[in-house]
Amino acid sequence: MTTLFDPIHIGRIAAASRIVMAPLTRNRAGAGGVPPEMAATYYAQRASAGLIVAEATQISAEAQGYIATCGIHTPEQVAGWRRVTDAVHAAGGKIALQLWHVGRISHVSLLGGNAPVSSTARTAAAQTFTLDGMVDVSAPRALRTDEMPRLVADFRHAARNAIAAGFDGIEVHAANGYLLDQFLRDSINDRTDAYGGSIANRCRVVVEIMQAVADEIGADRCGIRLSPVTPFNDAGLDSDTQGLFNHLMGQLAPMKLAFVHVIEGSTGGPRDFAPFDYDALRAIYKGSHPQGTWMLNNGYDRAMAIESVASGRADAIAFGKPFISNPDLVRRLREDAPLAVPDAATMFGGDAKGYIDYPTLDAAAP
């Protein structure tokens, strides 16, 4: 029987276990969106994860939505990430980068005075974190149809840069109410062009992006993150959530992506937030790609994770908050040791405190 602690090939990536570190934005980037030097320490401390999915990272200047987040579109950012990937690899780990465009979840002060872009010109009822603290997001402008190839090219460029920076793969962020979710859901997307209206049209840009990144770096190094029902960032439920995501998976599955990473329920909240048949989605993916890695996340504890992999409901489980405060989470799960609780006050922004100073079991021992 397969266990949570067994190795797995996530596409081309040989992972030592099925325990994945979920992407975690920490808002500690330096000038120009370059990862801070201490990010190399932070990620290397967590290198015993089967795979680290590094924090959401903007694919272009326009893609930024929060203060002090990292990018992967300039040479300085690539060089900064190289320090991180070298440190993780030296510690025996594997690391992929989450590629991010926030869409309308941004503020003009972060975009040189420009409006955020989205599928729509309607403003989200959401807030973002700027130099002036939490503020309401700015009114977006709808991307023109003739800008869509450039958006796809920005994702492709970011994927190429991620590989140049030494990452083992990439994860496209299509979850949590950010730009790609803003295209998928009819609760947000009010377009009348080829990227709005029907389910096929609303899925179009995500399909084009996944094809582009797969063409660029190989599908066996690409994954996607989805959150079909999350209400995060004013993402109302689609009128046919199951139909939408079943169609999307039907388009993506033949590409044989290395992994599909699904947040069940409300991100960081109730797992049963709204009804959705995740097994049906998995069946569509596995139908075309039986070797693909089906990764689940949200509120997993040790027992749930062990059971999910043992039953075949998941091939891998991603942990978010537990990895913030337990750098040696894999060992703690293996030994059924107690888990440290993360400090909410140091999650977003700050310095080394709450970032690289959480002790391992050995260090914490009296």
Q: Which helix (H) or strand (E) holds 196?
A: none
> What x/- string results for residues 9 through 28 when contact with ligand FMN is judged by CB under 6 A?
-------------xxxx---
> What x/- string results for residues 253 through 292 when contact with ligand FMN is judged by CB under 6 A?
----------x---xx------------------------
Minimum distance between the CB of residue 146 and ligand FMN, rounded to whole angstroms? 29
Q: Report the residue number, 100 or 195, with the smaller CB distance to ligand FMN.
A: 100
Q: Report the residue number, 183 or 300, with the smaller CB distance to ligand FMN.
A: 300
Size of the chain, expressed as the number of residues it contains:
366
Instruction: Please report whether residue 299 would count as binding ligand FMN according to CB under 6 A.
Output: yes
Q: What is the DSSP string of 277-341?
A: -HHHHHHHHHHH-TTSEEEEESS--HHHHHHHHHHTS-SEEEESHHHHH-TTHHHHHHHTPPPPP
Binder among 19, 84, 159, 175 for ligand FMN (CB under 6 A): 175
Chain centroid to CA 296:
12
Q: Report the residue number, 215 or 343, with the smaller CB distance to ligand FMN.
A: 343
Sequence-distant (6+) residues with CB within 8 A of 171 are 23, 53, 96, 97, 98, 99, 222, 223, 224, 225, 259, 261
Strands 222-226 and 117-118, how do they pair? unpaired
Binder among 41, 176, 233, 308 for ligand FMN (CB under 6 A): 176
Minimum distance between the CB of residue 199 and ligand FMN, rounded to whole angstroms? 23
Strands 8-10 and 13-15, how do they pair? antiparallel
Instruction: Please report whether residue 321 would count as binding ligand FMN according to CB under 6 A.
Output: yes
Q: What is the DSSP string of 21-33?
A: EPP-------GGG
Give the count of residues interacting with ligand FMN (CB under 6 A).
23
Sequence-distant (6+) residues with CB within 8 A of 106 are 64, 65, 66, 116, 128, 137, 138, 140
| 104, 124 Cβ separation under 8 angstroms | yes
> What x/- string results for residues 75 through 94 when contact with ligand FMN is judged by CB under 6 A?
--------------------
What part of residues 337-366 is at the interface with ligand FMN (CB under 6 A)?
A: 347
**Binding window for ligand FMN (CB under 6 A); candidates: 159-167, 246-254, 270-278, 298-306:** 298-306
| 294, 259 Cβ separation under 8 angstroms | yes
Sequence-distant (6+) residues with CB within 8 A of 286 are 292, 294
Q: Report the residue number, 127 or 288, with the smaller CB distance to ligand FMN.
A: 127
Instruction: Please report whether residue 98 would count as binding ligand FMN according to CB under 6 A.
Output: yes
CA–CA distance, 132 with 205 (Å, rounded to integer):
33
**Degrees, nearest 5: CA angle 318-320-323:** 100
Q: Report the residue number, 156 or 173, with the smaller CB distance to ligand FMN.
A: 173
**Binding window for ligand FMN (CB under 6 A); candidates: 168-176, 208-216, 279-287, 307-315:** 168-176
| 172, 180 Cβ separation under 8 angstroms | yes
What part of residues 33-72 is at the interface with ligand FMN (CB under 6 A)?
A: 55-56
Binder among 33, 93, 196, 320 for ligand FMN (CB under 6 A): 320
CA–CA distance, 280 with 180 (Å, rounded to integer):
22
| 70, 23 Cβ separation under 8 angstroms | no
Minimum distance between the CB of residue 347 and ligand FMN, rounded to whole angstroms? 4
Instruction: Please report whether residue 126 would count as binding ligand FMN according to CB under 6 A.
Output: no
Binder among 241, 297, 308, 326 for ligand FMN (CB under 6 A): 297
Q: Which residues here bind ligand FMN, judged by CB under 6 A?
A: 22-25, 55-56, 98, 173, 175-176, 225, 263, 267-268, 297-300, 319-322, 347
